[in-house]
Amino acid sequence: MKLVTERREISSPLLRFLTPIGSIAVALFVAGFLLLASGVDPLAAYKDIIVESLGSMYGLSETLVKTTPLIFAGLGVSLAFRMQIWNIGAEGQIYIGAMAASGVALFSGIDNHWLMLLLMFTAAFIAGGSWAGVAGFLRARWQVNEVIVTLLMNYIAILFVDYLVYGPWKDPKGFNFPLTAQFTDSARLAEYFDTRLHSGFFLALFVALVLYLFMERTVWGYQIKVIGSNPKAAQYAGMKTGTTIFMVLFLSGAIAGVAGFSEVAGLQHRLQHGISPGYGYTAIIIAWLAKRSAIGVVIVSFLMGVLLVGGDSLQIYWQLPIALVYAFQGLILFFLLASDFFVQYRIKLVKGGKYA
């Protein structure tokens, strides 16, 4: 008697739909033991997460506020995923996008609301795109590993924003805190229902729709998919692989950069130290969980928004470190990867010897 694994001819769609949900459930279960080990009642903590993030209008609005940058960054990362390109640098692209948008808001002196927002958006788009474009160029030209380049550029981006807010851009009236002066009203997005929910959220949904149409309804989107799944075939078909790699990473970073615009124009109204608490890293999980679908990105971003708002409440009520959310996200990924195996393979008990 021996256990063997056998590849499934067809993986069932039901199984493929259930595994992400199952992975989150198992990760919650295991994380419960981590909470227990640090002296926290997991059930009470989980209840707090749900109540805080979904139990009131205010909680829900806060969840949507956190969902907003996650959708942008998640869309960016997932676009690159389509082509089997890894953009691990969304975090840095958010910072650079936020910096570019803030530069326009602080120094352009434009009064017109729409012109100002348009310029801020464009600046963030181009800056985030160029930041990722460096990795895209290196990858397309010399096959330099884009995982390492995009990741290392995060550190540089964050340090550069720190340099600005601790140095030349620091608000002289800011009591020496690492932040710039507040934006004028013309550089602020609309807010709704007396909450912090801003129009960036609807912009994020709109971008998701555009990307969906782009990927599913245009030749360009089709090319990206072909190059991703079979680069050799794409080359034989005369598609420009190198140029597309650069363009996709540029666009990927540009969309993540817009998250930076949305954060400073909609929420913070200034550039400051720690403008993103790791949205760019959460975006990688979102893209992976969403299985490259734009609609999926929106749904998973919302789930992660719940987790982030919940994580804040765990910090406040249980004095748990906010980085706990990372441990939880890591666990989800572990279980998701493990469960993928059971989607692709079945395990059978067979009789007979080793080579039967």
Partner 1 sequence: MLEILLDATVRAGTPILFATLGAIINERAGIINLGIEGLMLIGALAGFAGTHASGSLLVGVLAAFIVTFLAGSIHAVITVQLRGNQIVSGLAMTMFGIGITALFGKGMVGQTIAGFERVAIPLLSDLPVVGKAVFNQNLLIYFSFLLVFIIWFFFYRTRWGLAVRTLGENPAAADTCGVPVNLYKFLAVTVGSGIVGIGGAYLSLASTPMWIENMSAGRGWIAVALVIFAGWSSPKAMLGAYLFGGITAMQLRFQAMGTTVSAHILQMLPYFFTIVVLVVSTMRLQKGASQQPESLGLPYDREDRK
Chain residues binding partner 1 by CB under 8 A are 7, 34, 37-38, 86, 88, 138, 142-145, 147-149, 151-153, 155-156, 159-160, 162-163, 166-167, 281, 284-285, 288, 320-331, 333-334, 337-338, 340-341
Q: Which of 134, 207 has the CB closer to partner 1?
A: 134
Shortest distance (Å) from residue 276 CB to partner 1: 15
Shortest distance (Å) from residue 294 CB to partner 1: 20
Shortest distance (Å) from residue 327 CB to partner 1: 3
CB within 8 Å of 8: residues ≥ 6 apart: 343, 344, 345, 346
Contact in structure between 136 and 256 (CB atoms under 8 Å): no
Shortest distance (Å) from residue 346 CB to partner 1: 13
Q: Where are the alpha helices (DSSP H) in the chain?
A: 13-37, 42-54, 57-81, 90-107, 113-142, 146-166, 200-217, 219-229, 231-236, 241-262, 279-289, 294-318, 324-344
Shortest distance (Å) from residue 161 CB to partner 1: 9
The alpha carbon dihedral of 329, 332, 333, 334 has a sign of positive
d(CA 282, CA 330): 10
Shortest distance (Å) from residue 265 CB to partner 1: 24
CB within 8 Å of 111: residues ≥ 6 apart: 186
Q: Which of 174, 221 has the CB closer to partner 1?
A: 174
Q: Which of 177, 206 has the CB closer to partner 1?
A: 177
Helix axes 200-217, 241-262, angle to 10 degrees: 160
Q: Which of 299, 333 has the CB closer to partner 1?
A: 333
Q: Which of 58, 345 has the CB closer to partner 1?
A: 345
Give the tokens for residue 354. Answer: 């080793």
Q: Which of 145, 229 has the CB closer to partner 1?
A: 145
Q: Which of 125, 288 has the CB closer to partner 1?
A: 288
DSSP string, 23-74: HHHHHHHHHHHHHHHTT--HHHHHHHHHHHHHSSHHHHHHHHHHHHHHHHHH
Shortest distance (Å) from residue 225 CB to partner 1: 18
